[in-house]
Amino acid sequence: MRGFRNLVSLTYAQKLSLVAAVPLILAVAAIAFMVAYESRATAEREIQALERRLIEAKKAELRNYVTQARNGFAYIYGRADPDDAEAKSLVTQILSAMIYGKDGFFFVYDYDGNNLVSPRQTEFINRNWEGLTDSDGTPVVDEFIRLARQGAGWHSFMWQKPSTGEEATMIAYVVGLQDWQWAVGTGVFIDDIVATVANARAEVEARVQRTFLYIGGIVLAAVLIVFASGMLLNIRERRLADAKLKDLTKRVIDAQEEERGRVARELHDGISQILVGVRYALDNARRRLSRGDDAGARAPLDKGIDHLVSAITEVRRISRDLRPGVLDDLGLGPALKALTDDFRERTGIETEFTTVVFRNRLDQDSKIALYRIAQEALTNIERHSGATRVTLDLRGHKKGATMRITDNGRGLGSNRGAGNSGIGLRNMQERIEQLDGSLRILSSRGAQSGTVIEASLPLSHLLSPQDDTTPKRKAGA
């Protein structure tokens, strides 16, 4: 369980490298398995073919030995009677003398299983070996007799080597002398063939192991390259992310400072000046009252009251710009309506707001994002577009919600060098991307070409009616 938690807690770069390395390792492992399987299968076929060729050569050699031996006593056997004891004795002497190599000899058994000739193993002579089997249970003498009765044949079995006393595989060729009911044959040990085949298989296995080592080395190098590439990519991405974060932090700080400067200017140029006027009016009224001029104090007091009303109105406007209360109290529709009305009164630009009642309401983050985008767009229109008409449309649909702002100004082509405009557009883009939405800006160069800003939010940001805690209002957004 702890190992699984450690695996889950890997960093993104480690997970990416792991995802890239695992398919590579699996693919190479499958290739290595197929290469090893095909190599072994091909080598085994070649080894079996070699073994067959060597055994066939041994068999041909044995057939030649038996043929030569039979030619050596054919003149005796051909003229002798079935019961000619002297001829049989001469043939047994001839076959007993035919020994070759360290272990080669001829043997003779009659059809009753009695051994007549065994020059290398004399303890077998004149004894009955019917039913004799080797260490694996393979019949030996009975099979010799069966093959002899058929005329001739091959037989393979385990037999003790006269030179070493150890068991080894022997291939024997037996022919039958039907007149005398003898089984005459000779055999050759094929332990040299077995050793050759075993060496060949060992060489094949060694080649396969070397192939696995080579493939393993290649896989290890590839995995190291993948991990190294992943680390380099991670370092590069981190540097880019750090650079973007620094740039974003700088822009946030610049935006905060700009907003603070704007609020400070409005407080100084608006509220501060109005309050100074109120102070002077009250001072004037106090001096008149101290002189007993009650009628003369009335005008400064009225003027001070008017200044206070203006100050209250200005404070409400600044507060609404910072965070409109109508957005929380009544929803997005009324907030945008108030924003466009204030924009029309302040700038004199003809502004129209339209909306459609939403079936489901937007969540709080979406309301704030769309309101700020509209606020930023109207600010850019006021400062840079030279437009005389603006329309703002908000509506919901089956894919989510869309807000569309259109003006008949100069477009963005002539304003792209403006620092504020660039920051404003980036702010819009970042706000909408945080909500998985999309922002489209359609504009063309030329006088009165106009600009369209379209912000769309997915359906996931619309609340179902039972989740909505906002008071039901006419605008519904």
Q: How many residues are given for the chain? A: 477
Query: Would you give the end-to-end CA distance of the chain in angstroms?
Result: 48
Give the H or E element holding residue 17: helix 12-79
Query: Domains in the chain, ordered, with CATH?
Result: 100-189 (3.30.450.20), 329-467 (3.30.565.10)
DSSP code per residue over 39-75: HHHHHHHHHHHHHHHHHHHHHHHHHHHHHHHHHHHHH
Task: Confirm if 108 and 117 have CB atoms less than 8 A apart.
Answer: yes
Reported as half-sphere exposure (CB side, CA atoms, 13 A), residue 282 has a value of 10
Q: Determine how many CB atoms are found less than 10 A away from the CB of residue 110.
A: 17
Give CA–CA dist 66/175, Å, rounded.
Answer: 8
Q: Determine how many CB atoms are found less than 10 A away from the CB of residue 471.
A: 8
Rounded percentage of the chain residues whose pLDDT exceeds 70: 85
Return the minimum-mean-pLDDT range out of 279-288, 316-325, 422-431.
316-325
Task: Write 91-95 long-range contacts (CB < 8 A, 24+).
Answer: 92/116, 92/117, 94/69, 95/69, 95/119, 95/184
Give CA–CA dist 54/169, Å, rounded.
Answer: 14
Return the minimum-mean-pLDDT range out of 368-372, 396-400, 419-423.
419-423
DSSP code per residue over 73-107: HHHHHHH--TT-HHHHHHHHHHHHH--BTTTB-EE
- 424 pLDDT more than 90: no
What local confidence, expressed as pLDDT, does residue 251 receive?
75
**What confidence tens digit (pLDDT) does each residue in 346-355 have?**
888 899 999 8
- 420 pLDDT more than 60: no
- Tell me the whole-structure pTM to 2 decimals: 0.45
Give CA–CA dist 196/54, Å, rounded.
Answer: 10
Task: Confirm if 103 and 120 have CB atoms less than 8 A apart.
Answer: yes
What local confidence, expressed as pLDDT, does residue 5 receive?
54
3-state secondary structure of 135: coil
- CA distances (Å), 16 to each of 4, 96, 219, in order? 17, 81, 17
Beta bridge partners of 394: 355, 403
Give CA–CA dist 331/472, Å, rounded.
Answer: 9
Kindly calculate the radius of gyration of the chain based on its CA atoms and give it in whole angstroms: 54
**What confidence tens digit (pLDDT) does each residue in 128-182 have?**
999 999 999 999 999 999 999 999 999 999 998 888 888 899 999 999 999 999 9
pLDDT interval class at 263 (50, 70, 90): confident
Give CA–CA dist 23/473, Å, rounded.
Answer: 57
* Max CA pair span of the chain: 181
